[in-house]
Amino acid sequence: MSAILLATLNARYIHASLGLRYLLANLGDLRSETTIREYTIKRPALEIVEDLLNSKPRVVGFGVYIWNVVETTRVVAMLKAVAPEVTVVLGGPEVSHETAGQAIVGLADYVISGPGEASFAQLCQQILAGAVPAAKIIAGELRPLDQLVLPYREYSDEDIAHRFIYVEASRGCPFKCEFCLSALDKTAKPFELERFLDEMAALYARGVRHFKFVDRTFNLNVNTGVRILEFFLARLDDKLFLHFEVIPDHLPAALKTMIVRFPPGSLQFEVGVQTFNPDVQALISRKQDNASTEDNLRWLRQHSQAHLHADLIIGLPGEDMASFGQGFDRLFALGPHEIQVGILKRLRGAPIARHTERHGMRYNPLPPYEILATDCISFATMRRLARFARYWDMVANSGRFTHALPLLLGDSPFARFLQFSDWLYAQTGMTGDLALDRLFRLLHEGLTALFEVEESALRAALETDFNRTGNQGMPRFLRAGAVRELSLSGRPTERQGRHGA
């Protein structure tokens, strides 16, 4: 039995909540009376409520995010219906801003906005002592980082064996990009480095080999970045993997010297380019040297073994489809291993809201609040681009079509893939759940019909790509001499139709 439960609904089991572990580590005397409960958003709400109540808690604290607010609202509603005596406390970015009118806020007893490590502990002490505060919305107390208990010992052996381990060497961000909640930060603040590295050493000793840094600006302080890379180089083995989010236009020589020493498969950089349009950058308060960004991406691709995951955003104010397409082609030419095409979302509290009326920004009123239209991109065009993003992830970012992809993209990657995306949706009417063999058939048909790709070259590329997937059973249409009983789009042929097949 636990007096306090810390709970959240993760997107998948493999994720482990760093935020809950910070709260647990900083509960002081209440630490021994507290347990973490993590679920996934696919778990039925009734099962979650039943599991929570099995511990007979007095307080349940929920971490609420844009990706789990709908499901968490259901859980909280059921929990308060069946056990109104249980005090429900909410925290997290989704409930830290614009709380008025939020259904989940109305259901809960308390909401802590902003940092929760100190304020949640104080609130729990008051609740358990019967001295409940009058205010429902409690502003989180921002404590100096050196006063926080670090959370890394709260990762269990099961976490280490089966889940992503998230860590942070700093908090905050000095930049003011308006689509991001980090724009509200005054600066980036580092944790004391040696203390942090001692915790990393302890995780490493327990068997952690995948470290996912959540710092917004890992390479902001070159000396800190170098020291962290040195730390891991000294422990390099064939299982070590490090993920960092980096500033694209800031890659000093000292960092380059360290980066080139890491072998393939050990480094991944998430590079937030977002847009190459200087007018759009200025509009959203994003400071980015595009020439330096290109130089750094080109250098990383040519001189390092790091896996490069670069981000672009569709739907920023002032950017039309032509501008986005130009930026996409510009980024593609630099050769990142993945281009993540994201749809702009209006995060609660993010300054991007100031452009809503002037730029005709129309968002989905339901989570995840994605952009539906702007004065530059109509709703119909936005839907085309959203399908482009989904299919790009399925075809290009999957890594399954490395030989066929150049035949598809030619010398106009954005225009040709958009054309293919439109055709693919017309054939299937869906953007997910396409079986792998069907996707191979559709690529064959699309490249043949749209771009008149030479048959023998296309077949050879697809055969090579399929063999690289490791799947057994070459698709029938690729087998030498096979008679295709299905059209390449998966619809019955005329012959099949006549015989009722």
Distance CA 106, CA 95 (A): 11
Distance CA 90, CA 84 (A): 15
Six token digits for residue 271: 């590079």
Counting Cβ atoms within 10 Å, is residue 94 exposed (0-12), middle (13-18) or buried (19+)? buried
Query: For position 480, what pLDDT does the model report?
Result: 59
Q: Using alpha carbons, select from 105, 195, 215, 85 the residue that is nearest to residue 149.
A: 195
Query: For position 400, what pLDDT does the model report?
Result: 95
Residue 307 bridge partners (DSSP) = 268
Helix then strand then coil, % of the chain, to nearest 5: 45, 15, 40
Contact 310, 268 (CB under 8 A): no
Distance CA 356, CA 119 (A): 33
Task: Indicate yes or no: pTM above 0.85.
Answer: yes
Distance CA 473, CA 440 (A): 13
Query: For position 478, what pLDDT does the model report?
Result: 86
Task: Give the C-alpha distances (Å, rounded to integers) separating 319 from 104, 347, 467.
Answer: 34, 19, 40
Question: CATH 3.80.30.20 residue ranges in the chain?
Answer: 164-377
Displacement of CA 156 from its chain's centroid (Å): 23
Question: CATH 3.40.50.280 residue ranges in the chain?
Answer: 4-144
Q: At a CB cut-off of 8 Å and minimum separation 6, what does 147 contact?
A: none
Six token digits for residue 391: 């299919």
Residue 242 bridge partners (DSSP) = 211, 267
| Amino acid (one-letter) located at 225 | G
Distance CA 19, CA 183 (A): 20
Please give the DSSP secondary-structure letter assigned to residue 148: S
CATH topology of domain 4-144: Rossmann fold (3.40.50)
Contact 4, 124 (CB under 8 A): yes
Q: Phi/psi zone of residue 182: left (φ > 0), alpha (ψ -120 to 50 degrees), beta?
A: alpha
Query: For position 500, what pLDDT does the model report?
Result: 34
Please give the DSSP secondary-structure letter assigned to residue 267: E
Distance CA 500, CA 372 (A): 42
Distance CA 437, CA 488 (A): 10
Q: Tens-digit pLDDT profile for the chain (501 aa)?
A: 899 999 999 999 999 999 999 999 999 999 999 999 999 999 999 999 999 999 999 999 999 999 999 999 999 999 999 999 999 999 999 999 999 999 999 999 999 999 999 999 999 999 999 998 989 999 999 999 999 999 999 999 999 999 999 999 999 998 999 999 999 988 899 999 999 999 999 999 999 999 999 999 899 999 999 999 999 999 999 999 999 999 999 999 999 999 999 999 999 999 999 999 999 999 999 999 999 999 999 999 999 999 999 999 999 999 999 999 999 999 999 999 999 999 999 999 999 999 999 999 999 999 999 999 999 999 999 999 999 999 999 999 999 999 999 999 999 999 999 999 999 999 999 998 899 999 999 999 999 999 999 999 999 999 999 999 888 888 888 875 443 433 444 443 333 333 332
**DSSP calls for 324-341:** HHHHHHHHHTT--SEEEE
Six token digits for residue 462: 């697809």
- The helix/strand/coil state of 129 is helix
Q: Using alpha carbons, select from 218, 200, 219 the residue that is nearest to residue 209.
A: 200
Angle between helices 379-395 and 436-451 (to 10 degrees): 120
Q: What is the CATH number that goes with domain 164-377?
A: 3.80.30.20
Query: For position 494, what pLDDT does the model report?
Result: 33
